C-alpha cells in the first residue's frame, strides 16, 4: 500500500448520560484518556489533531453534525478513515443493527437518538470513502458484521482498497467495564491503546493489533467474569497492511496550531481545587460531616471525558486533625496559600457563614491569577454581590453540575490555546461579570449517584472522624415556604430525587464497607412516605441505624407509627418545631399545610413518646420571632421541662432567628439588623431582633437561651451566650441597628 496515505481518526466516546445517569460508566472516561493518548501522543501514533476529530459526551444532534462534517472532510484519494466508538450499544432486533448511544440517548429513545451503525457505514459509502477501519467497542456491536451478505458484497464492489470492521461483543452479547490496575476500563479498548503504545514495531497492521487484543481478551475471560467475544471482518488484504506508524519519541506537530497535542493529553490537564472552608465561629461540634456536594462534583468531573485533575481541600478536616494544638492550626490556615499555587481553577461552596472566609481564599487565589468560581446555597440570588467582589470570576447558582462541567470544558480549551483567564466566557447557567448573560438556572432531572470507588476514597479520607456515620441524600430541595429558609431559594421549591434503586444500592454498599449509621439529609424524608419506607425496608439490618428529618404536622397524624420506624432502624428524627406556640409556629409557616392541634399537651405527648421506642426526638426552636415576649419565654422554658427529664431526653437545638441574604440584601420586615458580618450568621448568634422587642425582652432572650442549654446539658451544640463575641452581644442588648440592609465585603 502507498505509504503516503494519511490516517484520519474519528474517536467517539460516551460515558456520561444526561437523561439516565444509570448508564454512566467511569470506565469509558478512563478509556477515553488512554485511547486519545495512544492516537494523538507519543509513544503512539502522534497524529496531528487537525487531522482528527473527537466526539465526547455530546448529545445526538450535535454529534451527528460533527461526525458528518468530519467524514465529508476526508480526502477519498489520500486518506484512511479510522473510526472508533466506545460507549453503550443498544440492539435493534427488527432491523438487525446496533445503535450507538450519545449523551441524551436512553434505552427507550435509542431508535430516535442513537446512531445507527448501518447508517454510519452508509454515510461512508455515500461520501465515497474508499478505505476505512471501523471499531465499535460496545454491547451488541457484532451486529455490524451480521448485516447480511448482500450488504458486504455491495461494500466490496464499492471499495477500491477495502475496509475493516471490528467489534468487541457479538450481536447477542454485552461487554462491561472491568478493573485493570485499580482503575475501570473497557477491556477491548484498553488493549487497543496498549497495542499502539507498547510495541517494538515501527509500523503494525490492524490484523496484528487485533490478534494482540484477542489474546488479552481470552486471558481476561479465563481469570474474570468478562465473557464478551470480539471479532473482525475485512475485505481483500487490507487488514494486513501496516498502516499504523508508531512514534516512540517526541515529534513536532503542526507548530501553527500553537501547542502540541501530545502534551495536551499528557501534561496539559486543567487542575481544579474544590474547597470546603472552615468558618470563623464553628458551633456544631457534634455534627462534622462529609461535604458530599464537593465529592459529587469531583466524581462528575472525573468522568466528564476531559483531562480534569480534581482535588478537594477540606480545611475543616485539616483543622480537626490538629486537635487543640494552636500552632498546627495556624499552619493549616497558612497552608491554603501554598496549595493554591498548583491549580488553574479554584471553586468554593458557600453557605451564608462561609462567605467571608471564602472571599479571603478567593483573594489569595486571585493573587496568583487563578480562575475562581463560587457555588453552594448562598449563590442563588446573590450572584451580583459575589461578582462585584472582584475576586470571583464565575458563579454557578442552584444544583449546577452540568453548567460547571460546561464552564470547565471551556476553560480547558482556553488553557490549550494559552488564553486561560484572558477573557470572560459565556456559559449557559453560569453568571459572570456581565450578569445579563445568566440566561437560566440549570435544574437536574434527578440527583447524581456517587460512584462506589469514590465512596471508598471518602471513607478512607474521613473514616477516623465520622464514627462510621455518613450523610446520604435521596432528595434535595423543598416544596414548602418556611420563612428564612435558604434551601427553598436554592431549589425554587422543586424537589430533586435520586433513583430509589441507586439509593438502596449505595447504602448497601456502604454497609458492606463498615458504615453503620446513615443520616438522611432530605429536607422532609417522609414527604413521599411509600418511597422512603421502601428504601428503609431494603437497607435495614442488624445494628444499622438511621437519622431522618420530618415535619411534626405530618408525623403527628399517626399515619406512620414510631414503632414501625423503630423496627426499620430509625434512631433519631429531626423536627424543625421552631416554637411550642401554634400562632408563632404558623407565622413562620410551620404547620400551616396540615391541621395541627393548638394544644401543647398533644405536642408534649408526641415528643415524649419517642423515648418509649428508643428514638431521639431532635427538636429545634427559634428565639427572636415577632410576637414573642417575656411571658412566652417563661412558658417556653416550662415547656422544655415537660419534654426533657429522666424518662425523656430529646435533643434540643436552640437557634436565634437568622435571615439569609437575598438579592445582595438582608431583607427584613418587622425586624432590625444588628450586624452585617456574615461570620455571625450561624443561627447561634443574635444578629437581629423584632422591632417590638425592648431592651428587657432582648436580655430575656439571652437568659432563656442559657437556661434551656444548661437544663438540657446541650452545650456541645448550643454554645452558651458567654461565647458570643462581646461586640455583637453588647450591640444586641443596646438595640443597635444597621443603617442599610445591603451586605458588604469583609475588610
Instruction: Encode pLDDT of 263-283 as tens digits.
Output: 333 446 899 999 999 999 887
- Tell me the HSE value of 477 on the side-chain side, using a 13 A CA sphere: 19
Give the least confident one: 327-331, 485-489, 521-525. 485-489
Residue where one domain finishes, among candidates 262, 283, 307: 262
Q: Which long-range contacts (CB under 8 A, 24 or more apart) does 176-184 make?
A: 176/226, 176/228, 177/25, 177/26, 177/27, 177/28, 178/27, 178/220, 178/224, 178/226, 183/30, 184/25, 184/26, 184/27, 184/30, 184/453
Q: Find out whether the peptide bond into 43 is cis, omega within 30 degrees of 0.
A: yes
Cα four-point dihedral sign 42, 46, 50, 55: negative
The verdict on residue 281 lying in a domain is yes
Give the least confident one: 58-72, 471-485, 650-664, 677-691. 471-485
The verdict on residue 508 lying in a domain is no
Please tell me the predicted confidence (pLDDT) of residue 622. Answer: 93
Quick one: 312 and 197 in the same domain?
no
Average pLDDT over residues 301-308: 64
Average pLDDT over residues 95-102: 88
Q: Between these two residues, 361 and 741, which has the higher pLDDT value?
A: 361
**In this model, does residue 481 exceed pLDDT 70?**
no
Among 136, 121, 135, 133, residue whose Cα is nearest residue 240: 133
Quick one: 556 and 624 in the same domain?
yes
Beta bridge partners of 621: 578, 654
Quick one: 48 and 156 in the same domain?
yes
Quick one: 293 and 412 in the same domain?
yes
- Digit-coded pLDDT (tens) for 586-641: 776 655 444 444 568 889 999 999 999 999 999 999 999 999 999 999 999 999 99
Angle at 417 between CA 411 and CA 420, to 5 degrees: 40
- CATH classification at residue 382: 3.40.50.2300
**In this model, does residue 249 exceed pLDDT 80?**
no
Count CB-CB contacts under 10 A for residue 648.
16
Give the least confident one: 257-261, 312-316, 656-660. 257-261
Domain of residue 184: give its range. Answer: 6-262
Give the least confident one: 213-227, 252-266, 638-652. 252-266
Quick one: 327 and 427 in the same domain?
yes
Please tell me the predicted confidence (pLDDT) of residue 65. Answer: 84
> What is the C-alpha to C-alpha distance for residues 64 and 744, in angstroms, rounded to an integer?
49
Please tell me the predicted confidence (pLDDT) of residue 332. Answer: 92
The verdict on residue 258 lying in a domain is yes
Distance of CA 639 to CAs 3, 31, 633, 645, 709, Å? 90, 62, 10, 11, 14
The verdict on residue 745 lying in a domain is no
Quick one: 664 and 573 in the same domain?
yes
Quick one: 183 and 331 in the same domain?
no
> What is the C-alpha to C-alpha distance for residues 175 and 137, in angstroms, rounded to an integer?
8
Residue where one domain finishes, among candidates 218, 243, 262: 262
- CATH classification at residue 577: 3.30.750.200
Q: Quickly tell me which residue has 486519545 as its cell.
A: 36
Quick one: 152 and 289 in the same domain?
no
**In this model, does residue 262 exceed pLDDT 50?**
no
Q: Between these two residues, 149 and 108, which has the higher pLDDT value?
A: 108
pTM of the model: 0.66
**Residue 419: partners with Cβ closer than 8 Å, 6 or more residues away:** none
The verdict on residue 45 lying in a domain is yes
Among 101, 121, 123, 124, residue whose Cα is nearest residue 113: 101
**In this model, does residue 494 exceed pLDDT 80?**
no
- The total number of structural domains in the chain stands at 3
Cα four-point dihedral sign 537, 541, 542, 543: negative
Among 481, 276, 363, residue whose Cα is nearest residue 745: 363
The verdict on residue 452 lying in a domain is no
Quick one: 276 and 251 in the same domain?
no
The verdict on residue 175 lying in a domain is yes
Percent of the chain scored above 90 by pLDDT? 43
> What is the C-alpha to C-alpha distance for residues 481 and 308, in angstroms, rounded to an integer?
39
Quick one: 274 and 416 in the same domain?
yes
**In this model, does residue 236 exceed pLDDT 60?**
no
- CATH classification at residue 58: 3.40.50.1460
Please tell me the predicted confidence (pLDDT) of residue 454. Answer: 82
Please tell me the predicted confidence (pLDDT) of residue 438. Answer: 55
Quick one: 280 and 377 in the same domain?
yes
Among 563, 675, 539, residue whose Cα is nearest residue 613: 563
The verdict on residue 632 lying in a domain is yes
Distance of CA 716 to CAs 146, 283, 352, 520, 681, Å? 69, 8, 22, 22, 18
Query: Do residues 277 and 354 lie in contact, with contact meaning Cβ atoms separated by under 8 Å?
Result: yes
Quick one: 252 and 340 in the same domain?
no
Beta bridge partners of 572: 547, 616
- Digit-coded pLDDT (tens) for 512-521: 989 999 999 8
State the DSSP H helix or E strand holding residue 550, giving kind and residue range, or none if neither.
Answer: strand 545-550
Q: Between these two residues, 262 and 124, which has the higher pLDDT value?
A: 124
Percent of the chain scored above 70 by pLDDT? 86
Query: Do residues 463 and 442 lie in contact, with contact meaning Cβ atoms separated by under 8 Å?
Result: no
Residue where one domain finishes, among candidates 437, 470, 497: 437
Amino acid at each position: 500500500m502507498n505509504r503516503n496515505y494519511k490516517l484520519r481518526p474519528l474517536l467517539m466516546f460516551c460515558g456520561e448520560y444526561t437523561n439516565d445517569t444509570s448508564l454512566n460508566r467511569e470506565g469509558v472516561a478512563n478509556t477515553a484518556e488512554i485511547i486519545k493518548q495512544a492516537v494523538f501522543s507519543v509513544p503512539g501514533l502522534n497524529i496531528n489533531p487537525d487531522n482528527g476529530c473527537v466526539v465526547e459526551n455530546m448529545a445526538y444532534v450535535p454529534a451527528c453534525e460533527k461526525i458528518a462534517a468530519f467524514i465529508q472532510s476526508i480526502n477519498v484519494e489520500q486518506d484512511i478513515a479510522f473510526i472508533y466508538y466506545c460507549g453503550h450499544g443498544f440492539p435493534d432486533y427488527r432491523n438487525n443493527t446496533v445503535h450507538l448511544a450519545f449523551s441524551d440517548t436512553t434505552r427507550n429513545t435509542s431508535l430516535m437518538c442513537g446512531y445507527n451503525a448501518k447508517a454510519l457505514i452508509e454515510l461512508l459509502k455515500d461520501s465515497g470513502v474508499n478505505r476505512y477501519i471501523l471499531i465499535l467497542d460496545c454491547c451488541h456491536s457484532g451486529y455490524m458484521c451480521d448485516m447480511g451478505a448482500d450488504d458486504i458484497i455491495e461494500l466490496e464492489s464499492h471499495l477500491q482498497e477495502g475496509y475493516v470492521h471490528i467489534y468487541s461483543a457479538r450481536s447477542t452479547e454485552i461487554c462491561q467495564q472491568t478493573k485493570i490496575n485499580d482503575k475501570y476500563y473497557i477491556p477491548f479498548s484498553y488493549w487497543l491503546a496498549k497495542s499502539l503504545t507498547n510495541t517494538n514495531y515501527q509500523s503494525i497492521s490492524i490484523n496484528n493489533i487485533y490478534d494482540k487484543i484477542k489474546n488479552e481478551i481470552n486471558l481476561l475471560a479465563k481469570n474474570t467474569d468478562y465473557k464478551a467475544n470480539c471479532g473482525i471482518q475485512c475485505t481483500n488484504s487490507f487488514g494486513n497492511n501496516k498502516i499504523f506508524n508508531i512514534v516512540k519519541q517526541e515529534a513536532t506537530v503542526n507548530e501553527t496550531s500553537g501547542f502540541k497535542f501530545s502534551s495536551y493529553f499528557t501534561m496539559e490537564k486543567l487542575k481544579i481545587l474544590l474547597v470546603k472552608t472552615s468558618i470563623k465561629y464553628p458551633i456544631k461540634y457534634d455534627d462534622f460531616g462529609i461535604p458530599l456536594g464537593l465529592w459529587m462534583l469531583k466524581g462528575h468531573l472525573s468522568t466528564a471525558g476531559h483531562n480534569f485533575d480534581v482535588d478537594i481541600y477540606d480545611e475543616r478536616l485539616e483543622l480537626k486533625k490538629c486537635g487543640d494544638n494552636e500552632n498546627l492550626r495556624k499552619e493549616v490556615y497558612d497552608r491554603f496559600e501554598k496549595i493554591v499555587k498548583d491549580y488553574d481553577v479554584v471553586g468554593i461552596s458557600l453557605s451564608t457563614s462561609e462567605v467571608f472566609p471564602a472571599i479571603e481564599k478567593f483573594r489569595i487565589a486571585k493573587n496568583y491569577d487563578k480562575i475562581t468560581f463560587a457555588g453552594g446555597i448562598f449563590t442563588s440570588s446573590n450572584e451580583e454581590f459575589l461578582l462585584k467582589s472582584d475576586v470571583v470570576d464565575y458563579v454557578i447558582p442552584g444544583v449546577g453540575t452540568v453548567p460547571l462541567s460546561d464552564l470547565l470544558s471551556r476553560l480547558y480549551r482556553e488553557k490549550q490555546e494559552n488564553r486561560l483567564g484572558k477573557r470572560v466566557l459565556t456559559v449557559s447557567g453560569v453568571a459572570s461579570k456581565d450578569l445579563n448573560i445568566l440566561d437560566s438556572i440549570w435544574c437536574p432531572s434527578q440527583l447524581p449517584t456517587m460512584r462506589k470507588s469514590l465512596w471508598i476514597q471518602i471513607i478512607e479520607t474521613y473514616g477516623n472522624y465520622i464514627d462510621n456515620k455518613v450523610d446520604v441524600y435521596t432528595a434535595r430541595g423543598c416544596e414548602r415556604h418556611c420563612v428564612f429558609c435558604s434551601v427553598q431559594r436554592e431549589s425554587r421549591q422543586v424537589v430533586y430525587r435520586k433513583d430509589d434503586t441507586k439509593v438502596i444500592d449505595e447504602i448497601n454498599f456502604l454497609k458492606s464497607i463498615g458504615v453503620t449509621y446513615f443520616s438522611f439529609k432530605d429536607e422532609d424524608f417522609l414527604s413521599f412516605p411509600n418511597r422512603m419506607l421502601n428504601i428503609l425496608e431494603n437497607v435495614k439490618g442488624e445494628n444499622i441505624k438511621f437519622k431522618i428529618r420530618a415535619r411534626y404536622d405530618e408525623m403527628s397524624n399517626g399515619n406512620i407509627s414510631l414503632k414501625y420506624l423503630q423496627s426499620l432502624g430509625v434512631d433519631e428524627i429531626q423536627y424543625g418545631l421552631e416554637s411550642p406556640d401554634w400562632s408563632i409556629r404558623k407565622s413562620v409557616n410551620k404547620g400551616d399545610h396540615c391541621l395541627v392541634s393548638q394544644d401543647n399537651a398533644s405536642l408534649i405527648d408526641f415528643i415524649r413518646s419517642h423515648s418509649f421506642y428508643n428514638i431521639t426526638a431532635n427538636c429545634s426552636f427559634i428565639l427572636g420571632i415577632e410576637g414573642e415576649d417575656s411571658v412566652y419565654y417563661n412558658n417556653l422554658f416550662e415547656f422544655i421541662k415537660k419534654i426533657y427529664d429522666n424518662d425523656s431526653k430529646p435533643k434540643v437545638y436552640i437557634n436565634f432567628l437568622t435571615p439569609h441574604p437575598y438579592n445582595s440584601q438582608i431583607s427584613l420586615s418587622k425586624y432590625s439588623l444588628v450586624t452585617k458580618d456574615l461570620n455571625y450568621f450561624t443561627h447561634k448568634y443574635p444578629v437581629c431582633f423584632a422591632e417590638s422587642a425592648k431592651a428587657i425582652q432582648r436580655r430575656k432572650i439571652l437568659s432563656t437561651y442559657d437556661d434551656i442549654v444548661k437544663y438540657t446539658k446541650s452545650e456541645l451544640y448550643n454554645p452558651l451566650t458567654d461565647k458570643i463575641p462581646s461586640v455583637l452581644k453588647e450591640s444586641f442588648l443596646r438595640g443597635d441597628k444597621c443603617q442599610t440592609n445591603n451586605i458588604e465585603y469583609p475588610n
